[in-house]
Amino acid sequence: MVDKSQTPKIVVRVAEKGDVDKIIALSSKVFRNEAPYTRGMILGQMSAFAEGQFVVVYDGEVVGYAATMMLPERKALDQHTWNEVTGGGYAAMHDRRGEWLYGMEVCVDPDKRRLRIGKRLYDARRRLATDKHLKGIAFGGRMPGYKRNARKFASPEDYLEAVKRNDVKDPVATFHLNAGFEPVRLLKNYYPADADSGGYGVLMVWRNPYYDPERENQPVNRGNPDIVRVVTVQMEARTISRPQQFYDAVEYFVEVASEYGGDFVVFPELFTLMLLSCEPEELKPEAAIQRLTEHTPEFVERLTEMAIRRNINIIGGSHATKTEDGDIQNVGYAFLRDGSVHTREKIHPTPNEQTYWQIKGGEPLDVIETDCGPVGIMICYDSEFPEIGRRLADQGARILFVPFNTDTRHGYLRVRYCCQARAVENQCYVVTSGMTGNLGNVDNLDIEYAQSGIFTPCDFPFARDGIAAEASENVEMVTVADLNLATLSWARYEGSVKNLRDRRLDLYRIAWSDGG
């Protein structure tokens, strides 16, 4: 049988020493009025950073070459010249600890322009920057249209602004803009021999959408720092005869979540009201709050111990209690596996909470730093106010936890639809946890309706309906999903829409009383 497979005609690969003469010949063809690269320069580049030098081979001929190195942010993004930053073309300034991939050179055979060789080389650079978990790519780009248009503009800065507005098309700068690079500033005397560009360079930057600044600080108990496994508990309200039964039920779910490798386990709003079901008689609001307040120290101690022992972060629903300032608050808790405890008060108590329990709206509203990055807590009704999620997202939260407690399907759907809206508009994940069942002997907790879920933005890399996972309606169960933070970062920079980046801050903004 005849093998009809063929060797690919065009290949992008890492440059090898056997390519050196071909690269020199290519540079002679591209830079007709300048001295070509020398053999020593090419070998120096390969020696400094072998994996960063790429060639495009077409029918056995080298038709493209890209030279790169790694630089610290200060050197890559500050004012510099080509000669300084490249060490005279030898890549002598390469720093393996640098955060940025720096593009020294791109050569494309002028007779092979239609093969998209330049795009192939830039794509290879992007893959390298992503694989090495760098902040991005930087380089000094040319703007060869400047010389012939110089009389029309008061300064090179004005010319660059016109190119950015697409009023003028520059053969190189416009290509870089269309390729997704961001012009940061002009580099003065970047390459004096480039008369067409007036000696200027344009500092072009591509920011790696997968870069996570928290990655290097992740503890060893997380195998893949990009993946966060969340377990949301849809818990049934149960009548108990003693508090230990409540803690046994909570620990059961914490243990299950831990055995499934969860990073977070989430409980519903006001799930501690079950502690009132073991009282000899139904308590009125004032007495009920007092009794719940008496339970607070043990509640905090027990769940802190569970988080440490089971090595999992617990979003401890919420707990109605009288706080140190004497106000009655609906308080959300985060018990982290390092033993720290964080509280967040519900900002918007519902009309029922205000009139029946005398609960007041709290503060502050800030993210909680965890070993999986910053997270936010919005308690039930808070999710229905877009300002809350936006502030938490602006502070860096990529996962928002929403413990809720609703009595009817109408109430539940208000929370659900708003949580999905928060996921879309903030390009983040939203995890909800609700109560089901009923407690006939606890006043104001007569019936519960819930369908807990884990929601995502709506874009190609995510679940079709923006739902990573969801529970069955009104059934006690756990729901598990792995949330990819790298995919979220991609969506914020490269997605079909970029809600966070596309805000018209020239027209509107949210001003918080604390200056945020």
Reported as a single tens digit per residue, the pLDDT across 24-36 is 999 999 988 788 8
Reported as a single tens digit per residue, the pLDDT across 460-481 is 999 999 999 999 999 999 999 9
- pLDDT on residue 299: 97
Q: Which residues of 185-216 are buried (b: 16+ CB within 10 A; e: fewer)?
A: ebbeebbeebeebbbbbbbbbbbbbbbbebee
Mutual angle of helices 20-30 and 39-48, in 10-degree steps: 120
Region 108-137 average pLDDT: 90
Secondary element (H or E) of residue 259? helix 243-259
Reported as a single tens digit per residue, the pLDDT across 415-424 is 999 999 999 9
Region 81-101 average pLDDT: 92
Region 235-260 average pLDDT: 95
Collapsing DSSP to helix, strand or coil, 37 comes out as coil
Contacts for 132 with CB less than 8 Å, ≥ 6 apart: 70, 101
Reported as a single tens digit per residue, the pLDDT across 319-336 is 999 998 889 999 999 999
Do residues 501 and 492 touch, judged by C-beta distance below 8 A? yes
Higher-confidence residue: 220 or 303? 303
Question: Where along the chain do its domains lie?
Answer: 10-207, 228-494
d(CA 329, CA 320): 6
Looking at CATH, the fold of the domain delimited by 228-494 is given as Nitrilase/N-carbamoyl-D-aminoacid amidohydrolase (3.60.110)
Q: Is the pLDDT of residue 3 over 90?
A: no
Reported as a single tens digit per residue, the pLDDT across 432-450 is 999 999 887 887 777 899 9
Q: Is the pLDDT of residue 315 over 60?
A: yes
In one letter, which amino acid is 14?
V
Positions marked catalytic: 269, 346, 380
Collapsing DSSP to helix, strand or coil, 158 comes out as helix
Least confident piece of the model among 10-24, 304-318, 435-449 = 435-449
User: Measured between alpha carbons, how far is residue 38 from residues 41, 55, 91, 103, 371 in Å?
Assistant: 5, 16, 13, 18, 49
- pLDDT on residue 210: 86
Region 230-259 average pLDDT: 96
Share of the chain above pLDDT 70, in %: 96
Pairing of β 429-437 and β 227-237: parallel
Reported as a single tens digit per residue, the pLDDT across 360-381 is 999 878 999 998 989 999 999 9
Collapsing DSSP to helix, strand or coil, 94 comes out as coil
Res. 222 pLDDT band, cuts 50 70 90: low
Higher-confidence residue: 44 or 252? 252
- Which CATH superfamily hosts domain 10-207? Gcn5-related N-acetyltransferase (GNAT) (3.40.630.30)
Collapsing DSSP to helix, strand or coil, 209 comes out as coil
Average pLDDT, the chain: 91
Region 81-108 average pLDDT: 93
Matching residue, tokens 């007569």:
446
